[in-house]
Amino acid sequence: MDYFPAFLDIRGRPCLIVGGGDIAFRKVRLLSKAGATLTIVAPDINDLLFNFAGEKGHRLVKRKFRSSDVLGNWLVVSATGKTAVEASVFKSAQDANIFCNGVDSVTNCSYITPAIVDRNPVIVAISSGGAAPVLARKLRSQIEMMLPNGISQLATLARNWRDRVGKRLSDALARRRFWEAVFEGPSAQLAMTDDIAAAEIVMSTLLEDSSVKQDGEAWLVGAGPGDPGLLTLCALQIMQTADVIIHDRLVSAEVLDLARRDADLISVGKFPGCNINSQEQINALLVSLVRSGKRVCRLKGGDPFIFGRGGEEVAALSKENLKYQVVPGITAAAGCAAAAGIPLTHRDVSQSVAFITAHGKDSVDNLDWASLARDKQTLVFYMSVKRLPELMNNLIKNGRSASTPVAFIERGTTPEQRIIHGTLGQLTLLAEAHRIVPPTTLIIGEVTAYGTAGAHDERYAPVKYIKPNYMVAQKG
Ligand code: SAH
Domain boundary among 141, 176, 210: 210
Count CA atoms closer than 13 A to 195's CA, side-chain side: 11
Cross-strand bridge partners of residue 241? none
User: How much distance in Å is there from the Cα of 224 to the middle of ligand 1?
Assistant: 9
β-strand 37-41 against 14-18: which pairing, if any? parallel
Q: pLDDT at position 361, please?
A: 60
Radius of gyration of the chain (CA): 31
Ligand 1 binding pocket mutation candidate from 307, 309, 312 (most atoms within 8 A of CB)? 307
Q: pLDDT at position 455, please?
A: 46
| Domain with 200 in it | 151-210
Angle of CA points 59, 64, 70, to nearest 5°: 60
User: How much distance in Å is there from the Cα of 77 to the middle of ligand 1?
Assistant: 56
Phi, psi of 391 (to 5 degrees): -60, -50
Residue 2 is assigned to a structural domain of this protein: no
Q: pLDDT at position 363, please?
A: 60
Residue 135 is assigned to a structural domain of this protein: no
User: How much distance in Å is there from the Cα of 439 to the middle of ligand 1?
Assistant: 6
Residues 261 and 195 in one domain: no
Residues 199 and 239 in one domain: no
Phi, psi of 137 (to 5 degrees): -70, -35
Residue 138 is assigned to a structural domain of this protein: no
Residues 227 and 206 in one domain: no
Ligand 1 close to Cβ of residue 405 (< 6 A): no
Q: pLDDT at position 374, please?
A: 95
Residue 3 is assigned to a structural domain of this protein: no
User: How much distance in Å is there from the Cα of 1 to the middle of ligand 1?
Assistant: 34
Ligand 1 close to Cβ of residue 20 (< 6 A): no
Ligand 1 close to Cβ of residue 336 (< 6 A): yes
Total count of domains within the chain = 4
Residue 375 is assigned to a structural domain of this protein: yes
Residues 262 and 353 in one domain: no
Ligand 1 close to Cβ of residue 269 (< 6 A): no
Residue 129 is assigned to a structural domain of this protein: no
Check: pTM over 0.75? Answer yes or no: no
Residues 297 and 345 in one domain: no
CA–CA dist 305, 327 (Å, integer): 9
Ligand 1 close to Cβ of residue 408 (< 6 A): no
Catalytic (active site) residue 91: no
Write the residue with the smallest CA distance to atom 15 of ligand 1. 382
CA–CA dist 266, 294 (Å, integer): 13
Ligand 1 close to Cβ of residue 331 (< 6 A): yes
Write the residue with the smallest CA distance to atom 24 of ligand 1. 440
User: How much distance in Å is there from the Cα of 47 to the middle of ligand 1?
Assistant: 70
Domain boundary among 304, 330, 356: 330
What does the H/E/C string look like for the chain?
CCCCCCCCCCCCCEEEEECCCHHHHHHHHHHHHCCCEEEEECCCCCHHHHHHHHHHCCEEECCCCCHHHHCCCCEEEECCCCHHHHHHHHHHHHHCCCEEEECCCHHHCCCCCCEEEEECCEEEEECCCCCCHHHHHHHHHHHHHHCCCCHHHHHHHHHHHHHHHHHHCCCHHHHHHHHHHHHHCHHHHHHHCCCHHHHHHHHHHHHHHHCCCCCCEEEEEECECCCHHHCCHHHHHHHHHCCEEEECCCCCHHHHCCCCCCCEEEECCCCCCCCCCCHHHHHHHHHHHHHCCCEEEEEECECCCCCCCHHHHHHHHHHCCCEEEEECCCCHHHHHHHHCCCCCCECCCECEEEEEECCCCCCHHHCCHHHHCCCCEEEEEECCHHHHHHHHHHHHHCCCCCCCEEEEEECCCCCCCEEEEEEHHHHHHHHHHCCCCCCEEEEECHHHHHHHCCCCCCCCCCCCCCCCHHHHHCCC
Residues 157 and 225 in one domain: no
CA–CA dist 406, 392 (Å, integer): 11
CA distances from 19 to 81, 161, 455 (A): 8, 42, 62
CA–CA dist 379, 444 (Å, integer): 5
User: How much distance in Å is there from the Cα of 225 to the middle of ligand 1?
Assistant: 7
Q: Which position among 104, 248, 300, 303 bears the catalytic label?
A: 248
Ligand 1 close to Cβ of residue 439 (< 6 A): yes
Phi, psi of 367 (to 5 degrees): -70, 150
CA–CA dist 391, 369 (Å, integer): 9
Residues 160 and 225 in one domain: no
Residues 397 and 319 in one domain: no
Write the residue with the smallest CA distance to atom 13 of ligand 1. 383
Looking at ligand 1, which atom is closest to the CA of residue 300? 1
Ligand 1 close to Cβ of residue 224 (< 6 A): no
Residues 365 and 415 in one domain: yes
Ligand 1 close to Cβ of residue 332 (< 6 A): yes
CA–CA dist 77, 421 (Å, integer): 63
Which residue type sits at 233? Answer: L
Residues 22 and 44 in one domain: yes
Ligand 1 close to Cβ of residue 251 (< 6 A): no
Residues 231 and 312 in one domain: yes
Q: pLDDT at position 106, please?
A: 85
Ligand 1 close to Cβ of residue 58 (< 6 A): no
Per-residue pLDDT of the chain (476 residues; tens, 9 = 90+): 889 999 999 999 999 999 999 999 999 999 999 999 999 999 999 999 999 999 999 999 999 999 999 999 999 999 999 999 999 999 999 999 999 999 988 899 999 999 889 888 999 999 988 888 889 889 998 998 888 889 999 999 999 999 999 999 988 888 988 998 899 889 999 999 999 999 999 999 989 888 777 788 999 999 999 999 999 999 999 999 899 999 998 899 999 999 988 899 999 987 666 677 789 999 999 999 999 889 999 999 999 999 999 999 999 999 999 999 999 999 999 999 999 999 999 999 999 999 999 776 666 668 999 999 999 999 999 999 999 999 999 999 999 999 999 999 999 999 899 999 999 999 999 999 999 999 999 999 999 999 865 445 555 655 544 443 333 333 33
Q: Which position among 167, 270, 361, 475 bears the catalytic label?
A: 270
Ligand 1 binding pocket mutation candidate from 381, 382, 419 (most atoms within 8 A of CB)? 382
User: How much distance in Å is there from the Cα of 251 to the middle of ligand 1?
Assistant: 10
CA–CA dist 445, 391 (Å, integer): 13
Residues 320 and 398 in one domain: no
CA–CA dist 168, 81 (Å, integer): 55
Domain boundary among 308, 330, 352: 330
Angle of CA points 113, 259, 153, to nearest 5°: 55
CA–CA dist 72, 78 (Å, integer): 16
Ligand 1 close to Cβ of residue 252 (< 6 A): no
b/e sequence 306-337, b meaning 16+ C-beta within 10 Å: bbbebeebbebbeeeebebebbbbbbbbbbbb
Residue 359 is assigned to a structural domain of this protein: yes
Peptide bond into 438 cis (omega under 30): no
Ligand 1 binding pocket mutation candidate from 330, 440, 444 (most atoms within 8 A of CB)? 440
Looking at ligand 1, which atom is closest to the CA of residue 310? 1
Catalytic (active site) residue 194: no
Residue 119 is assigned to a structural domain of this protein: no
Report the CATH number at residue 75: 3.40.50.720
Q: pLDDT at position 463, please?
A: 55
